Amino acid sequence: MTTTPDQAKLWNTTSGCAWVDSQPLLDGLLQPFEDKLMEQIRSGTASRALDVGCGTGSTTIAAARLLGPQSQCTGIDISEPMLALAKTRADQANVRAKFICADAQTYAFDTATFDTIISRFGVMFFADPTEAFANLRRAAIKGARLCFIAWRGAADNPFMTTAERAAASLLPDLPPRVPDGPGQFGFENPQRVQRILEQSGWSEIDLQPLDVTCSLPEPELIGYFTRFGPLGQILNQADESTRNRVISTVRAAFEPYVHGAEVRFKVASWVVNARA
């Protein structure tokens, strides 16, 4: 992830702290995507991997376990609270992983270092994605593999925008989604992703859709939608009466996804592969 002022603030305060607090829930939710990345690594000959937007470290640690003690796995992220947890988890897992708190768009990586670069939903936040992927290309050896997973569009992921749509009439200052801007759905346009990677020096570019059914326990639903996404950014600024009305309204909007004790929904993403 990159340090636009808004993104840096979010990932070092509300969003970053929410991820730290909810790490077991979110890692469980996103486990199918971690598994997919590990499949991609397993099919190659990786030994020096970089995990971009590594967050609390789950994918970095999984890669380090998979590649073994002779490998070197590095995670990079702008979020200090998330990386603090990542380092603790890596130590507890006794894996060979290190973490860098920096902007992957501008960080001065050693040239031609990594044979594999991965990311699970961590590359859509760059202020200048072409510059960012050019920087990652310089950090990669010739023939290195790039594999990342990014969200497709909001229309393909209605669960992810349910909260903000339901709350819009009660909270008119909800942060807007900016098409092609830094954010969750910044890579929804496959032609744009192709162009960014081509212009930044990558080749053999391939985008494949991946649709996965995800779930979380129903008792976690309110905590989920009140802490994440545009709603999570501003809900704590509302007065108690408004906050209660928003929670009630939004919870009702999620009812189609509730199946007894479980909340189930489809996540639509891209699996993107390329070569240096």
Answer for the pair 141, 74: CB distance below 8 angstroms, yes or no. Answer: no
What would the pLDDT profile of 95-126 be if each residue is shown by its tens digit? 999 999 999 999 999 999 999 999 999 999 99
Helix/strand/coil for 245? helix
> At which residue do the structure tokens 């993104």 appear?
7
- Exposure of 191 by Cβ count < 10 A (0-12 exposed, 13-18 middle, 19+ buried)? exposed
Report the DSSP pairing between strands 48-52 and 72-77.
parallel
pLDDT at 1: 43
Residue 134: partners with Cβ closer than 8 Å, 6 or more residues away? 199, 200, 201
Neighbours of 142 (CB within 10 A): 8
Per DSSP, helices labelled H in 175-239 are 190-199, 221-227, 229-234
Q: Is 31's pLDDT higher than 70?
A: yes
> At which residue do the structure tokens 């669960």 appear?
159
Q: What is the pTM of this model?
A: 0.94
Answer for the pair 214, 29: CB distance below 8 angstroms, yes or no. Answer: yes
pLDDT at 2: 42
CATH class of 5-155+177-214+267-275: alpha beta
**φ, ψ for residue 259 (rounded to 5)?**
-125, 90
- Give me the mean pLDDT over the 181-192 stretch: 94
* Domain locations in the chain as residue ranges: 5-155+177-214+267-275
pLDDT at 4: 57
Pick 256 or 14 by higher pLDDT: 256
Answer for the pair 211, 266: CB distance below 8 angstroms, yes or no. Answer: yes
Percent of all residues in the chain with a pLDDT value above 70, rounded to a whole number: 98
Q: Is 250's pLDDT higher than 60?
A: yes
